[in-house]
């Protein structure tokens, strides 16, 4: 488990508690950091829990950072705010704010064949290529697209 906080005293207290139970840097680690970098590069996780968020912190940069660290097949993000200022509209707007493109490349020389901007991000394993070359993609907003002739 990896925990982090922008408050140095909170990180120190968490480290003391984990160390007192023999868990620090064995099964649990804590770092001093803000929302701009959730985990070191090259690491991923199955669960991201962000508490005490404010609506203005729900940015496309945060969405990209959550996407970077979450395991691509079964990662889950839980976002919340104890003060109750996050509402469904703010969360929905943030989850749909990323720009998503689907690009096809030639299989032998790697040249770009086409690129399409998608109205929402794809679901995991939501892409299929038909025998005639059409591409079927399922999106997180429930839409299923067929691209091609």
Give residue-wise pLDDT tens across range 91-116: 566 555 556 778 887 777 778 788 88
Q: Confidence band (pLDDT; 50, 70, 90) for 76?
A: confident
pLDDT at 86 over 90: no
pLDDT at 80 over 60: yes
Mean pLDDT score across all residues of the chain: 79
Distance, in Å, from the CA atom of 123 to the CA atom of 73, rounded to the nearest integer, reads: 10
pLDDT at 66: 84
pLDDT at 3: 86
pLDDT at 95: 56
CA–CA–CA angle 77, 83, 88 (5° rounding): 50
The tokens for 29 are 């680690």
SS3 89: helix
Question: What is the average per-residue pLDDT within 69-86?
Answer: 70
- Could you tell me which residue, 70 or 14, shows the higher pLDDT? 14
Distance, in Å, from the CA atom of 121 to the CA atom of 138, rounded to the nearest integer, reads: 9
């Amino acid at each position: 488990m990896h925990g982090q906080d922008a408050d140095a005293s909170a990180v120190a207290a968490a480290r003391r508690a984990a160390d007192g139970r023999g868990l620090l840097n064995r099964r649990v680690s804590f770092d001093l950091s803000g929302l701009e970098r959730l985990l070191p590069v090259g690491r991923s996780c199955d669960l991201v829990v962000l508490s005490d968020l404010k609506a203005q912190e729900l940015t496309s940069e945060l969405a990209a950072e959550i996407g970077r660290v979450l395991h691509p097949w079964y990662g889950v993000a839980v976002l919340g705010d104890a003060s109750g200022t996050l509402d469904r509209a703010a969360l929905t707007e943030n989850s749909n704010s990323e720009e998503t493109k689907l690009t096809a490349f030639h299989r032998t020389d790697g040249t770009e064949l086409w690129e399409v901007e998608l109205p929402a991000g794809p679901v995991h394993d939501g892409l299929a290529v038909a025998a005639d070359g059409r591409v079927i993609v399922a999106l997180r907003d429930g839409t299923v697209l067929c691209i091609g002739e």
